Amino acid sequence: MAKSSKNLLWCVVHLRKDKNWWVKKTNNTGNWDTDGLPIIDPKQFAHVLDLLDPLREYGLVMDFLEQAFIPFQVQEALADKQLRLVRVNDSFVDSDEVLFALPDVADEDASPYSEFLTHITKLRVKFLNDNVKFEQKLTIDDLEDQVRELQSQTDAEGHALHAFTEVTDILEFVPEGYELSSEEEETTVEDADEEDIDVGEGFDLDTEEKIEEDDTMHWDEEGEENEEEEDNREGDKRRR
């Protein structure tokens, strides 16, 4: 693990209206700014692994993946669509456990997560040039520019960009007007959602069905409005 993350031991995450998990609090407040800090859930991470598989023959280095994310497991379910997660030392590739993946972005200038994004961008370009009949070769700049334009729409709407979206925008990218000549990587988010994944303690990601509401849980419209306001605040910060 990167030295910047060694003191991060636990975090509290919450499920927002966008169906993504976001970090609300950590034990290491000095190095980790939780404003707009996303965490990838086990089902999403399994989908990422599926999307990475075609890149193995193009030089995929799994160490980039292992270093880019910090593994967490569910310790307990809290009220208001929240979970308390604890850090573990498992490998994302070799572990039999179901893990949440927190992008290691403590060092903004040279984070392991940004190195991972750079790595998969290069490989995606190689993959596309091999499997799509372009008039001229796709470049890394082409992919980055088009993905950045796509993601700017999210920013313009005032929503923070989640890491799952950031990664899959690269791994699923095909330039407009083209299509893959091979069907080998046709993995969809719907495919990944077909099975519930148990994240421990008899709790799975279908939170609204598996956690019974009580007097301490307020999953009403007011809560959703608060989440939307929080998304908007984070979007404003990103634009500034």
* pLDDT tens figures, 13-33: 999 988 999 999 999 866 677
The mean pLDDT value of the chain amounts to 79
- Whether 202 shows a pLDDT value over 90: the answer reads no
In the chain, DSSP assigns E strands to 10-15, 21-26, 38-39, 69-78, 82-87, 100-103
10 Å Cβ neighbour count for 224?
12
Structure confidence at residue 154 (pLDDT): 67
Average pLDDT over residues 155-170: 85
Q: Residue 189 falls within a domain, yes or no?
A: no
- Identify the residue whose tokens are 């470049």: 139
Q: What are the pLDDT digits (tens) for 42-57? A: 999 999 999 999 999 9
Structure confidence at residue 150 (pLDDT): 87
Q: Residue 143 falls within a domain, yes or no?
A: yes
Q: Residue 231 falls within a domain, yes or no?
A: no
> Domain tally for the chain?
1
Q: Residue 190 falls within a domain, yes or no?
A: no
Q: Which domain holds residue 65?
A: 3-177+197-205
Three-class SS of residue 226? helix
Q: Residue 226 falls within a domain, yes or no?
A: no
Q: Residue 100 falls within a domain, yes or no?
A: yes
Q: Residue 188 falls within a domain, yes or no?
A: no
Q: Residue 98 falls within a domain, yes or no?
A: yes
Q: What are the pLDDT digits (tens) for 60-77? A: 999 999 999 999 999 999
